[in-house]
Amino acid sequence: MPDYISIKKKNISLIGLMGSGKSMIGKHLAKEFGMKFYDSDVEIEKITKKSINLIFEEYGEPYFREIESKVCLNLLNEKNCIISLGGGAILDKKIRNKIKSDSYCIYLKVKIDELIQRLKKTTRRPLLKNVNIKSKIDTLYKNRKIYYNKANLIIENNGNKNETLDIIKKKLIFR
């Protein structure tokens, strides 16, 4: 476990657009550091016993955001966990404040073209259903970058996941 976490008892949160690799990187970091891993979407699906797609379809986005808010605030109340937050979680001011107070936040930044490649076949992202993926991602990025850029650490994750992991580990351990 990195020193600073054992001292401050903080979580590590991962933020970024859909497809930026938060869950994959988070799981690896958790394994490496012997910490628990949580993914806010997975927790939402467990609690509601419904898929994210179905929640959007049956109840709409505002209802999803309400549950997301509760789930993310609860997860951030934990200690020494790695938490992958859904791409839109940072739109909620309470979540943003909690990220700041209770976690060391890492933004995984990925080029838009790369994100489009990664997301063009996704069926798990209700916001990307029946839309032009490029213009949707452009809009989401435009509206969210101000919040993503407030992270404690910004790491590019355009290609090699092992490189990304190495950079994060070095930053965390030697900071």
* Burial class of 53 by CB neighbour count within 10 A (0 to 12, 13 to 18, 19+): middle
Cβ atoms < 10 Å from Cβ of 43: 19
Q: Is 18 in the site for ligand S3P (CB under 6 A)?
A: yes
CB of 6 to ligand S3P, least distance (A): 28
- Output the smallest distance, CB 104 to ligand S3P, in A: 19
| Torsion angle (degrees, nearest 10) of CA 86, 87, 93, 95 | 30
Q: Judged by CB, which is closer to ligand S3P: 35, or 84? A: 84
Question: Would you mind telling me the total number of residues written for the chain in this entry?
Answer: 175
Q: Which stretch binds ligand S3P (CB under 6 A): 70-78, 84-92, 99-107, 149-157?
A: 84-92
Ranges within 97-136 binding ligand S3P (CB under 6 A): 125-127
Q: Is 88 in the site for ligand S3P (CB under 6 A)?
A: yes
Could you say whether residue 86 binds ligand S3P (CB under 6 A)?
yes
Q: Which of 10, 14, 41, 81 is the binder for ligand S3P (CB under 6 A)?
A: 41
Longest dimension (CA), the chain: 47
State which residue, 2 or 88, has the beta carbon closest to ligand S3P.
88
Report CA 7 to chain centroid distance, whole Å. 24
Closer CB to ligand S3P, residue 2 or residue 87?
87
In this chain, which stretch among 85-93, 96-104, 129-137, 157-165 interacts with ligand S3P, using CB under 6 A? Answer: 85-93
Examine residue 52 and tell whether it contacts ligand S3P (CB under 6 A): yes
Pick between residue 127 and residue 167 the one whose CB is nearest to ligand S3P.
127
Positions in the binding site for ligand S3P (CB under 6 A):
18, 22, 41, 52, 86-88, 125-127
